[in-house]
């Protein structure tokens, strides 16, 4: 056995852990949960809360397990009568001043104090005295402070000084008057990561103003996902109720974002809930551009309008689109505009469709921030310059970046192209209304129908990343999976499904029927993604075979 | 030169080669018994200095004060350690430590302002609000309480005519309750500015207040 290991017994189980491990972490390794507030794996341990007291044989008093390191031959009892008794006593002390306002507290349902009292507290309080009252304070930014609920674990103070590197919070006064505060009216304004203190607050003392009284924690569906606000690819959870994203919380992944995420990513979810969606596929056939493609016009009989645009079913629309594409292929070739918000699978389907049309170019536009915003205490995490989740994946599949740092311009060649034009996801926000009017076939697939898609021969409703399954490749080349959180509107389908169906009908190959199949096709065709297992990607992701794209483009 | 009144093994006087008396060591303030007039400057009560004279309008950390804080900072490997001393100097000048002063200390020592506020509010010896020329702190902890501290506290309030924590209209007095002044042997103890007044009873209050009004409260 290597000398760096220490043998000890926890709750009767023998365990060997690395030297320097704390009892709390060792207990976690053998599956004994030690209740705690102030301990957080990403922060230092001050032994403030005294809730992690355990019995150590030979020690004259109960030991705070979050700061006590393991010793050779130690015998620890986490769940002995004595240890549990100590913790019950500590819990009772907490409830002397903690208000029992769970029915109106936003943390209710995910509050550690609530859980611990439920499992190990007294049935009835003995306290006769009135509780002290601190009231509330607006800390600025997105944080509201409810002083009465604070248990003085100081996680927020330590986060701001150790991780954020901007010591805005402190403990003011002492004893039972102690309270968390900033420098008078200074507040948290101007800091970029302070949303994390709401996450790590074990009770409802720090609350998000954005989420205040919006939903109860137990009403929310949690979908593991990946943040789309920049190319860092932070692991997040989308919390959904009523088919609306209510908030975004970080999900632990030490290789990417630790336990943290930036405030911008946290509050960048309104667009996922945006209405006015493209709901049904539309196909318009212009006889001048498609020749024999007009045969389908009116034959499906479901609501053709006088101007030639008509709602139709997916199968009818896709067969019309396919006919139009077949008629238009060859000639001037294909130009495709992709969005860097498309998943790897979506892109693979687009590339396959372009290949089926005889080859062409795929370009994308992406916004870039002037600077990176690095989290000082966790420098592998930053808000990256590249403000889209999958620019690395696009690069790996041969798409070229065009346009400027605002994600505008660069499409002049596409706008005047007289071959096939396919736009997927890009909102064309800076383009003229007659975009690609001269194209022999112009297919627009997106979540909304922008004015610039007016001359499109077909409008295909596709899902956003929040409504589908798939994977993104972050700037390090890490391929990470996201899960569907919302039910897509109308007949919107994932881009890989729509484009894959078109491509399969043209090249005669197999059509992917699930995201896993789409990913399998991708890893079979692209060497960068070879050997990756889609099922295994959900936890932590896996590296694509690529040189990390750090540097100019990130 | 008088002999030490008692052999006290607990103080560093008559030990070994040093033939110093307690009064030589303690200086002229020590008069052999604990006077009620506040002649005794206790070590516990002497920091931070609470002077009657104050210069509320002067700039802090200029001239002699800057020299002093630079000396203090030079004693530590880390500027952060000089925080208590810097706050003491502020209190010496102003009589209290205000928001703007905390900000100035933070800038001087390269500390986050919130940290300075946290430290300043942790210690009760720093006044966070302006106080009168004489800050009367009555200990009401257990020993003093048994010796009638509550009557002494009430007596000061009534005689001066203020509420706890309030400053009298003439700006002369602020009366507060102190948690423990560590002077249990001569309870009741009252700290007024930087001096300890011990064996204080309610009857002594008019004399003490008159003494302070005549300028004897330094």
User: Per-residue pLDDT for chain A (554 aa), expressed as one digit of tens each?
Assistant: 566 899 999 999 999 999 999 999 999 999 999 999 999 999 999 999 999 999 999 999 999 999 999 999 999 999 999 999 999 999 999 999 999 899 999 999 999 999 999 988 888 889 888 998 999 999 999 999 999 999 999 999 999 999 999 999 999 998 888 999 999 999 999 999 999 999 999 999 999 999 999 999 999 999 999 999 999 999 999 999 999 999 999 999 999 999 999 999 999 999 999 999 999 998 876 433 443 433 334 333 333 443 445 556 899 999 999 999 998 887 788 999 999 999 999 999 999 999 999 889 999 999 999 999 999 999 999 999 999 999 999 999 999 999 999 999 999 999 999 999 999 999 999 999 989 999 999 999 999 999 999 999 999 999 999 999 999 999 999 999 999 999 999 999 999 999 999 999 999 999 999 999 999 999 998 889 998 999 989 888 999 987 544 444 44
Residue with the bigger pLDDT between B218 and A64: it is: A64
For residue B33, name the pLDDT band (cuts at 50, 70, 90).
low
Q: For residue B114, give the nearest of A167, A173, A174 by CB distance.
A: A167
Which residue intervals of A98-188 are DSSP H helices? 112-120, 155-158
For residue B195, name the pLDDT band (cuts at 50, 70, 90).
confident
User: In terms of CA atoms, which chain B residue is nearest residue A175?
Assistant: B122
pLDDT for the residue A367: 94
Query: Tokens in use for A358?
Result: 């005889």
* Phi/psi of residue A77, nearest 5 degrees: -120, 110
Q: For residue A174, give the nearest of B112, B116, B122 by CB distance.
A: B122
pTM: 0.86
- Pair type for strands A143-146 and A360-364: unpaired
A-chain residues near B80 (CB < 8 A): none
pLDDT for the residue A123: 85
User: In terms of CA atoms, which chain B residue is nearest residue A178?
Assistant: B122
**Strand A13-18's sheet: what is its strand order?**
A13-18, A5-10, A74-77, A53-56, A63-64
User: Is residue A444 helix, strand or coil?
Assistant: strand
pLDDT for the residue A305: 41
Question: What Rg, from alpha-carbon coordinates, does chain A have?
Answer: 28
| Rounded distance between C-alpha atoms, residue A445 and residue A460, angstroms | 4
Query: Tokens in use for A289?
Result: 């551009």
pLDDT for the residue B104: 93
A173 with B121: Cβ contact below 8 A: yes
DSSP A306: T
Q: For residue B118, give the nearest of A172, A184, A186 by CB distance.
A: A172
- Beta carbon pairs, A and B, within 8 Å: 36
B117 with A171: Cβ contact below 8 A: no
Q: For B53-67, how does the pLDDT look when each residue is reduced to its tens digit (9 = 90+)?
A: 777 777 888 888 888
- The number of residues making up chain B comes to 218
* Phi/psi of residue B36, nearest 5 degrees: -80, -10
- Pair type for strands A13-18 and A136-140: unpaired
B114 with A174: Cβ contact below 8 A: no
B118 with A184: Cβ contact below 8 A: no
Quote ipTM for the complex: 0.84
B112 with A172: Cβ contact below 8 A: no
| Rounded distance between C-alpha atoms, residue A119 and residue A112, angstroms | 11
Query: Tokens in use for A186?
Result: 């200074």
pLDDT for the residue A120: 84
A183 with B117: Cβ contact below 8 A: yes
DSSP B185: G
pLDDT for the residue B23: 62
Would an 8 Å CB–CB cutoff place A181 in contact with chain B? yes
Q: For B111-166, how does the pLDDT look when each residue is reduced to its tens digit (9 = 90+)?
A: 999 999 999 999 988 999 999 989 999 999 999 999 999 999 999 999 999 999 99
A186 with B118: Cβ contact below 8 A: no
A370: number of Cβ within 10 Å: 6
pLDDT at B183 exceeding the cut of 50: yes
B59 in Cβ contact with B69 (< 8 Å): no
In angstroms, what separates the C-alpha of A345 from chain B's closest C-alpha? Answer: 48
pLDDT for the residue A121: 86
Residues B208, B212, B217, CA angle at the centre, nearest 5°? 110
Interface test with B, best of A46, A154, A170 (most B CBs within 10 A): A170
A-chain residues near B115 (CB < 8 A): 167, 170
In angstroms, what separates the C-alpha of B112 from chain A's closest C-alpha? Answer: 6
B-chain residues near A166 (CB < 8 A): 112
| Rounded distance between C-alpha atoms, residue B18 and residue B10, angstroms | 15
């Amino acid at each position: 056995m290597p000398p760096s290991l220490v043998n000890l017994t926890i709750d009767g189980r023998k365990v060997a852990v690395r030297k320097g491990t704390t009892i709390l972490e060792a207990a976690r390794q053998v599956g004994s949960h030690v209740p705690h507030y102030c301990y957080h794996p990403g922060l230092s341990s001050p032994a403030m809360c005294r809730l992690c007291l355990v019995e150590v044989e030979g020690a004259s008093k109960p030991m705070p397990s979050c700061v006590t390191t393991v010793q050779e031959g130690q015998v620890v009892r986490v769940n002995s009568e004595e240890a549990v008794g100590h913790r019950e006593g500590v819990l009772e002390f907490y409830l002397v001043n903690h208000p029992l306002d769970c029915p109106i507290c936003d943390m209710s349902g995910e509050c550690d104090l609530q859980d611990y009292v439920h499992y190990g507290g007294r049935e009835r309080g003995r306290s006769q005295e009135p509780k002290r009252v601190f009231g509330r304070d607006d800390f600025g930014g997105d944080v509201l402070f409810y002083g009465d609920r604070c248990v003085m674990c100081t996680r927020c103070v330590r986060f701001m000084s150790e991780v954020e590197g901007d010591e805005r919070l402190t403990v003011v006064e002492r004893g039972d008057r102690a309270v968390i505060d900033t420098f008078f009216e200074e507040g948290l304004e101007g800091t970029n990561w302070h949303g994390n203190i709401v996450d790590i607050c074990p009770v409802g003392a720090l609350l998000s103003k954005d989420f205040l009284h919006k939903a109860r924690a137990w009403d929310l569906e949690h979908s593991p996902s990946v943040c789309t606000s920049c190319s860092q690819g932070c692991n997040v959870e989308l919390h959904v109720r009523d088919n609306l994203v209510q908030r975004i919380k970080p999900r632990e992944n030490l290789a990417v974002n630790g336990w943290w995420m930036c405030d911008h990513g946290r509050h960048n979810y309104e667009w996922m809930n945006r209405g006015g969606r493209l709901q049904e596929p539309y196909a318009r056939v212009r006889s001048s551009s498609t020749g024999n493609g007009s045969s389908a016009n009116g034959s499906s009989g479901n609501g053709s309008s006088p101007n030639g645009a008509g709602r139709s079913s997916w199968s009818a629309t896709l067969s019309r689109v396919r006919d139009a594409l077949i008629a238009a292929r060859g000639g001037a070739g294909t130009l495709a505009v992709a969005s860097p918000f498309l998943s790897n699978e979506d892109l693979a389907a687009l590339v396959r469709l372009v290949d089926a049309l005889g080859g062409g170019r795929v370009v994308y536009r992406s916004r870039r921030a002037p600077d990176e915003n690095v989290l000082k205490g966790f420098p592998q995490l930053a808000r990256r310059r590249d403000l889209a989740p999958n620019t690395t994946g696009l690069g790996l599949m041969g798409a070229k970046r065009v346009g400027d740092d605002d994600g505008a311009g660069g499409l002049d060649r596409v706008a005047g192209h007289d071959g096939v034009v396919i736009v997927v996801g890009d909102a064309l926000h800076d383009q003229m209304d007659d975009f690609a009017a001269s194209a022999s076939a112009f297919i627009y697939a997106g979540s909304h129908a922008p004015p610039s898609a007016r001359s499109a021969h077909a409008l295909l409703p596709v899902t956003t990343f929040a409504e589908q399954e798939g994977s993104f490749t972050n700037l390090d080349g890490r391929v990470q999976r996201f899960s569907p959180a919302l039910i897509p509107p109308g007949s919107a389908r994932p881009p890989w499904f729509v484009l894959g169906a078109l491509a399969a009908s043209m090249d005669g190959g197999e059509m992917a029927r699930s995201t896993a199949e789409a990913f399998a096709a991708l890893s079979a065709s692209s060497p960068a993604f070879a050997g990756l297992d889609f099922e295994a990607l959900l936890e932590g992701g896996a590296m694509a075979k690529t040189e990390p794209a750090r540097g100019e483009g990130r | 030169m008088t002999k030490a009144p008692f052999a006290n093994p607990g103080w560093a006087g008559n030990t070994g080669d040093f033939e110093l008396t307690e009064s030589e060591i303690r200086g002229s303030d020590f008069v052999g018994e604990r006077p009620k007039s506040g002649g005794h400057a206790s070590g516990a009560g002497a920091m931070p200095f609470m002077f009657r004279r104050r210069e509320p309008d002067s700039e802090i950390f200029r001239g002699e004060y800057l020299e002093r804080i630079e000396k203090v900072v030079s004693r530590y490997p880390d500027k952060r350690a000089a925080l208590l001393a810097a706050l003491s100097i502020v209190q010496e000048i102003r009589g209290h430590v205000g928001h703007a002063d905390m900000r100035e200390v933070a800038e001087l020592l390269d500390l986050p302002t919130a940290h300075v506020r946290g430290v300043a509010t942790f210690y009760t010896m720093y006044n966070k609000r302006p106080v009168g020329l004489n800050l009367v702190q009555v200990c009401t902890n257990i020993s003093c309480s048994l010796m009638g501290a509550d009557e002494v506290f009430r007596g000061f309030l009534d005689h001066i005519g203020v509420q706890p924590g309030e400053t009298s209209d003439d700006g002369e007095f602020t009366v507060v309750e102190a948690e423990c002044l560590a002077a249990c042997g001569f309870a009741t103890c009252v700290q007024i500015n930087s001096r300890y007044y011990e064996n204080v009873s309610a009857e002594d209050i008019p004399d003490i207040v008159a003494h302070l009004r005549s300028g004897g409260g330094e």
